[in-house]
Structure 1
Amino acid sequence: MKKTLLSAFLLFAIIRIDAQVLTLQEAINIALKNSLDIEIARNNVTANEINNHISVAGGLPNVDASITNNQSLTNLTQNLSNGTTTKRNGNLNNSLNGGIGGSLLLYNGLRVHATKKRLEALQLQSEQLVTTQIQNIVANVMLKYYDIVRQNSYIETLKQSIEATLQRKKIIDVRQSVGLANNADTYQAQLDLTASQQELQSQELVIMQAKSDLMNLMTQRPDSAFAIRDTIIVDSTVNFNLVRENLQRNPEVLSAEQEIRINELIAREVGAQRYPSVSLNTGFNYARTQSSAGFTLLNQNLGPYIGFTVGVPIFNGGLTKRQVRVADISTKNAGVSREILLNTLETSAVKSWQAYQNTLQRLQLEKENNRIAAALLQLTLQRYELSAATIIEVREAQRSFVEAGYRLTNLSYSAKVAEIELKRLASQLGI
């Protein structure tokens, strides 16, 4: 009965673990869905879409309506030219004014046009920043995901080394039972086993913390339990010339180009203040004044009006000229910032390509070296079992095996890191 319950529990545990396996695509999808940085960037896009309207640029007419109704109580004293005198206290007066008016800007040095173009550029820039955020998040998730794969691979190497230590200890125990080995060999094997187990536990801590980092990127609970069963496969078909060509289309570069455009349009907006402005004004007014005494008992006006307003700037202390010069300097700075960014990206691309090529070449050699180290360890254990090898030779073979596995794992990860960076720079990371 106990065996049946234990088997059922183990089966359930295996099913649970399988259900918690996380793939790279799932990690990317969850990170993109939950990213707060992307949410902020998309909110900025929405805000810029709302602002990108002709009314914000000042190109639509303004229409206002107003009404005023005043009551007053006065004492009246009135002397007329014919000698008549009128005196009346408690005189009630009413004044009612209302109207609707509109103003349409006809010309202001094309400032409205420049403002509308600037709003369009701001919207495009915010959209490019979203693309940048997406590419960065995908790259960060991939780096952390494959880092966990790397650490898992190193754990497998440590486990194989521990198996070799256990096998060595078993051989020593057999020899000791027939008087062919001393306690020193047993103690040394136990010390080596304990050291390997502690290193394994340290490596498991590294993996747990790496998983917490991945959960943070995915905006999940950092203590969420999951497993990753994957291998590092490096894409060896990355084309550097294509990467370099695509740098011009990198969303960060495109955003920098929009920044130049925005500053150019700001300069045009400021420069438009030097030109006259012409507005068309029209509306309909109603005015009514009524008094219970006095010369005029009722006065009422009703009707439309139309006219023009022309404003001509004459002198403002050179303020506009200074603002234009400052805007031109901002445009130049934006251009310099773009060149700096492009140089930085190209340098990063060259360095990543150098690392990519170098690690790919070394990776092929290290794979063969790792195979030889594994074969050497197995052969040395067999020779040790036949008393043809010493314990020092076994320990040296184990050390070589662990180091070869560590180098192979790190080289695979380094090649993948370089590949991911090259694709990120070229905006070629798949989603």
Structure 2
Amino acid sequence: MKPLFFSLGLLSLSPALAQTPTPAVPTPTKEAAPKTPTLTLHDALQTALQNSLDIQIGQNNVEVQGLQNTLGFAGGLPTVGLNASNNVVINNTNQQFNTGDPRTATGARSTQYTVGLAGSYLLYNGGYVVANRKRLGELQQISELQLNSTVQNVLADASLKYYAVVQQQRYIRTLQASVEVSRQKLRLIEARQAVGLANNADRFQAQLDLNAQTLTQQQQALAAEQAKADLLRALTLDLNTPIALEDTIPVDRSLRWADIETSLQRNPALLAADRQVRVNELLVRVAQANRYPALGLNAGTNYNRAQNAVGNTLFNQSYGPYAGLGISLPIYTGGINKRLVDVARVNTKTAELQRSSLQQTYTLNARKAWLAYEQTLALVDTAEQNYTTARKLLKLIQLRIDAGLSTLVDVRIAQQSFEDAGYRLVNYRYSAKSSEITLRQLAALLTP
């Protein structure tokens, strides 16, 4: 239902009716509730940035990519391992020799100890390590850009929900004035009826108008509470947290399309798409490296000891270092390496298309938001003029009815015009602010 807009002091009793006593309604005394501190937009945005779960997830992703962006993770550092084993074997042995001297042993025990320290280092693999390290660096940059994009989204969402609450509060203020004016109209008709200048039909109609506006006020209060709940969710606060907001919707009129279009190229989501193309190009190099020979250095030391209860060798021990070079050349892999390269190239083309599509979408959204911004600013100017004119009309009708030159119907028509003018003004202001926030978000210009 559309909110209603009224002006206080719309009607006044004529001098003759002003002398008619009106019963005083006792007002119950209430203990003053503590005033809730005003939550400014700056404070709301700071709270949103501090409490946002999406930002915390993005920060974790940045941390993970930073941990992975190392030379060792890319395969460029040597690997060292220690291996040790101890095997005990118990056998029943029956041996026949060419000398004719048989040997039989039951429960013969053999013990073998082995300890080895081995290291390997990849010297060359077709540029695999270099490409992989660059790929990890690009992934870290992408995670940081995605975090910046998340920050812009959080700021935009919190700003829109903040001004949505302000919009509802503006409605409630005018509805409260509307209800008070309706009460004044009802008292006026009751006073006129007391001196025979009004009938029950007028009083019933005035009562119905008051009841309808009271219902509208209650519905608007519900909408305001729901808008506050959305804001508290955007700020990651408890839904029962009491908040009081500012009561204005300021619109920045200094935006220029040339500045927005230039800043749009610095949008973190578009920059992340550019780097994703680079990641896929590096994946092509990584896949191509599998087709080149791999040269590695191997080194280490071993210690072996064997002790046998029977046999020709009862004790054997050896230890010492070793070193060598190893090379592997893929000759035939069933075409897998070639297909991996082809797949990586197709993925690169896909990333380029996704980047172009995203850029076109962002440019379109920015252009639409700019057109809405320009048009709505002009509508705001017109709506402000209409609101001023409607308020003057109400004052004029009030003077005419005091002089007996206008009827209550004239008042209702003038009042409806004032309501419509106020309703449009608030909505145009919110629409202009919404377009401004969208433009700043796309251009990555939002700040707390």
Bucket of the pairwise TM-score, normalised by the shorter protein: over 0.9
Residues 124-175 of structure 1: CA distance to partner in whole angstroms, max 9, x if unpaired?
1111111111111111111011011111112222233333333333332332
Report how far residue 337 of structure 1 moved.
0.6
Deviation at 1:179, TM superposition (A): 1.8
RMSD: 1.9
- Is the CA contact 1:59–1:105 (under 8 Å) kept in the aligned structure 2? yes
CA distance in 2, matches of 1:302, 1:93: 19
The residue that corresponds to 1:234 in the other structure is 251
* Partner residue of 2:161 out of 141, 144, 147: 144
Q: Does the CA-based 8 Å contact 2:48-2:234 persist in structure 1?
A: yes
**2:180 aligned with 1:163:** yes
**TM-score, normalising length from structure 2?**
0.90
2:187 aligned with 1:174: no
SS in 1 for 2:39: coil
Conserved 8 A contact 1:77-1:85:
yes
Amino acid at match of 1:188: Q
Alpha-carbon offset, residue 292 of structure 1: 3.2
**3-state SS of 2:298 partner:** strand
Give the Cα–Cα distance (whole angstroms) in 2 for the partners of residues 379 and 294 of structure 1.
125
1:131 counterpart = 2:163:
no
Q: Tell me the TM-score normalized by structure 1.
A: 0.93
My pick for the range that moved more, 79-88 or 316-325, is 79-88
Seq. identity, %: 42
Aligned partners of 1:246 and 1:197: how far apart in 2? 48
**Unpaired segments of 5 or more residues in structure 2?**
1-25
Out of 374, 377, 391, the residue aligned to residue 357 of structure 1 is 374
Q: Does 1:286 align with 2:303?
A: yes
Aligned 1:40-189 pairs, distance under 5 A: 40-78=57-95, 86-189=103-206
The residue type equivalent to 1:195 in the other structure is A
CA contact (8 A) 1:161 1:402 kept: no
Other structure's SS at 1:344 match: helix
1:77 positional shift: 4.8
Question: Counterpart of 2:444 in 1: which secondary structure?
Answer: coil
1 or 2, which has the higher helix percentage?
A: 1
The residue that corresponds to 2:35 in the other structure is: 17
Deviation at 1:87, TM superposition (A): 4.4
The answer to whether the Cα contact below 8 Å between 1:42 and 1:130 also exists between their aligned partners in 2 is yes
Judge conservation of contact 1:171–1:385 (CA < 8 Å) in 2.
Answer: no
Please say if residues 170 and 247 of structure 2, whose CA atoms lie closer than 8 Å, have aligned partners that are also in contact: no
Bigger mean CA deviation after superposition, 231-240 or 164-173: 164-173
* Structure ranking higher on relative contact order (CA contacts 8 Å, 6+ apart): 2
Partner AA of 2:335 in structure 1: G
Quote the offset at 1:265 in angstroms. 1.2
Q: Give the superposition deviation at 1:88.
A: 4.1
Q: Indicate whether 1:273 and 2:290 are aligned.
A: yes
Residue range with higher mean Cα deviation, 283-292 or 232-241 = 283-292
Aligned to 1:198: 215
Q: What's 1:342 paired with?
A: 359
Q: CA deviation at 1:229?
A: 2.8
Q: How far is 1:400 from its partner? A: 0.4
Name the CA shift for 1:183/1:6 in 2 (closer, same or farther; >3 Å).
closer
User: What secondary structure is seen at the aligned counterpart in 1 of 2:59?
Assistant: helix
Deviation at 1:277, TM superposition (A): 0.3
Contact map agreement 1:247 1:426 (CA 8 A) in 2: yes
Query: Aligned equivalents of 2:105 and 2:204: distance in 1?
Result: 126
Deviation at 1:385, TM superposition (A): 2.1
Aligned to 1:330: 347
- Residue deviations 1:242-289 (CA, integer Å, cap 9, x gap): 111111110110111121111111111111100000110000011112
> Over residues 36-55 of structure 1, what are the superposed CA-to-partner deviations in whole Å (9 max), with x where a residue is unaligned?
22221111111111111111
SS in 2 for 1:278: strand
Q: Does 1:257 align with 2:274?
A: yes
Indicate how the Cα distance of structure 1 residues 74 and 198 shifts in structure 2: closer, same or farther if over 3 A, else same: closer
CA distance, structure 2, for counterparts of residue 214 and residue 201 of structure 1: 20
DSSP-derived class of the 1:125 partner: helix
Please give the alpha-carbon distance, in whole angstroms, between the structure 2 residues aligned to 1:285 and 1:24.
69
How far does residue 358 in structure 1 lie from its aligned partner after superposition? 0.7
Q: SS of the counterpart of 2:265?
A: helix
Call closer, same or farther: CA 1:160–1:88 in 2, change over 3 Å.
Answer: closer
Q: In 2, distance between residues paired with 1:104 and 1:274?
A: 19
* Matched residue SS, 1:296: coil
User: Which piece of structure 1 moves more, 275-284 or 190-199?
Assistant: 190-199
SS of structure 2 residue aligned to 1:18: coil
Which of 282, 295, 303 is 2:320 aligned to?
303
Aligned length: 422
Query: Counterparts of 1:49 and 1:256 in 2: how far apart (Å)?
Result: 19
Give, in angstroms, the shift of residue 410 of structure 1: 0.3
CA contact under 8 A between 2:169 and 2:247: conserved in structure 1? no
**Structure 2 CA distance, aligned partners of 1:227 and 1:389?**
41
